[in-house]
Amino acid sequence: MNLPNPKQISKKSINKGLFLSLARISFSYTFVSSSIVNELRMKLMKNKTHTSSLAGILCGMCVLMSSMQMNAQGFEYNFGGNSEDQGQAILQTDDRGYLIAGYSESFGTDGDLDVYVVRTDVDGQEIWSNNFDEGFIEHAYGMDATQDGGFIIVGDIRQTALDSFKVYLLKISPHGDLLWSNSFGSGFEQGFDVQATADGGYILV
C-alpha cells in the first residue's frame, strides 16, 4: 500500500484549530507527520492499539485514516478555539474512537499554552474535550491508554517562555478529568512519548 503524499494534504487554516479527517482504510502502522513553521517532518511508528490506523498531524491539522472499509465517506472536524491550537498525537481507543492530544492557547485564563485533549467517537464526533492548566506553559507530545481505561500523557512544562523545560506527566480518567500530574528533571528535559507497563508503571522517552 502506498503512503499518501504529504503535498496532497490540505494546509488550509493551519494554526487555527485541530482538524480531524477520516478516510477509512486498513493499514498496520501509524504514520505521523508534524509541521513546525510550515516545514514537514515525518516519522513512522508502530501503532500501540489493537486496531490499526494511518494518522497525520500538520501543525494544527490532524488527518486520520482509520482501519475500516475503504470507499466509506470521510469527514473533517475542527477542534479548538480562536487562538493557537496544535495537535501532536493521535491514539485509537478500545472503542474505535480517537484521542487527540496537543496544546492550546484558546481556553486557559493566563493567556499561555496549555495541554489540550479531545476524545471522539469512531465517526469523529466529539465526546469530550478538556484543557489542563496548572498556571504554567504546558505541552503534550505523546500518550498511551492505561489498564483502568484512562490515559497517560507526557510533554513538557515551564514557568515562562524564558525558563527551561521539565518533563510533564499527567494521568486523566476515561472522561477527561485530571487524576494527578508530576514533573521531572532539573531543566531542559522534555517528554515525547510514554508507554504504560504491565506492572502499572510508565516508561517515558
Per-residue pLDDT of the chain (205 residues; tens, 9 = 90+): 444 443 333 333 334 344 444 433 333 333 333 333 233 333 333 334 333 333 333 333 344 444 444 444 566 778 888 778 888 999 999 998 999 999 998 887 777 899 999 999 988 889 999 999 988 999 999 999 999 999 999 999 998 878 888 999 999 999 999 999 999 998 789 999 999 999 999 999 9
Whether residue 196 lies inside any domain: the answer is: yes
Nearest to 17 by CA among 78, 62, 77: 78
Question: Is-above-0.75 flag for pTM?
Answer: no
On whether the CB atoms of residues 22 and 75 are closer than 8 A, the answer is: yes
The C-alpha atoms of residue 25 and residue 36 are separated, in whole angstroms, by 27
Whether residue 90 lies inside any domain: the answer is: yes
Whether residue 39 lies inside any domain: the answer is: no
Look-up: residue for cell 504529504? 6
Say which amino acid occupies 123: D
Whether residue 120 lies inside any domain: the answer is: yes
Whether residue 140 lies inside any domain: the answer is: yes
Whether residue 15 lies inside any domain: the answer is: no
pLDDT at residue 73, rounded to an integer: 54
Whether residue 19 lies inside any domain: the answer is: no
pLDDT at residue 38, rounded to an integer: 31
pLDDT at residue 154, rounded to an integer: 97
Tell me if residue 90 falls in helix, strand or coil: strand
Burial of 103 (C-beta count, 10 Å sphere; 0-12/13-18/19+) = buried
Domain total in the chain: 1
pLDDT at residue 184, rounded to an integer: 93
Residues 6+ apart with CB under 8 A from 155: 88, 103, 115, 138, 139, 140, 141, 142, 167, 168, 190, 191
- Domain extent at residue 147: 80-204
Assigned C-alpha cell, 107: 481556553
Whether residue 14 lies inside any domain: the answer is: no
Q: What are phi and psi of 7, to 5 degrees?
A: -65, -20
In the Cβ-directed half-sphere of 80, how many Cα atoms lie within 13 Å? 30
